Amino acid sequence: MSGLKREELAAVAGISREYYVRLEQGRGHKISSQVIESLARALRLGDDERAYFHRLARLL
């Protein structure tokens, strides 16, 4: 979704803004598959993008 603010993305993904900011800054704990998938849906990622996003998130 183009042009979403942090608050909007967090709301669409069903997570708090504070948690999203921690993830964005690399201060999050191990991110769950459910949160990764919620963010991927909120961002409307395609299959290849989603797979890449999952790989990146697992590096945290």
Name the pTM for this structure: 0.83
**Domain-located, residue 1:** no
pLDDT score at 34: 93
pLDDT value at position 31? 87
The residue assigned the tokens 């409307």 is 44
Q: What CATH number is attached to the domain comprising 46?
A: 1.10.260
Q: What is the pLDDT of residue 41?
A: 94
pLDDT higher than threshold 70 for residue 60: no
Name the nearest CA neighbour of 10 among 39, 34, 52, 37.
39
Q: How many residues does the chain have?
A: 60
Residue-range definition of the domain harbouring residue 40: 6-58
Answer whether residue 12 is part of any domain: yes
> Mean per-residue pLDDT for 17-46?
90
Average pLDDT over every residue of 15-41: 90
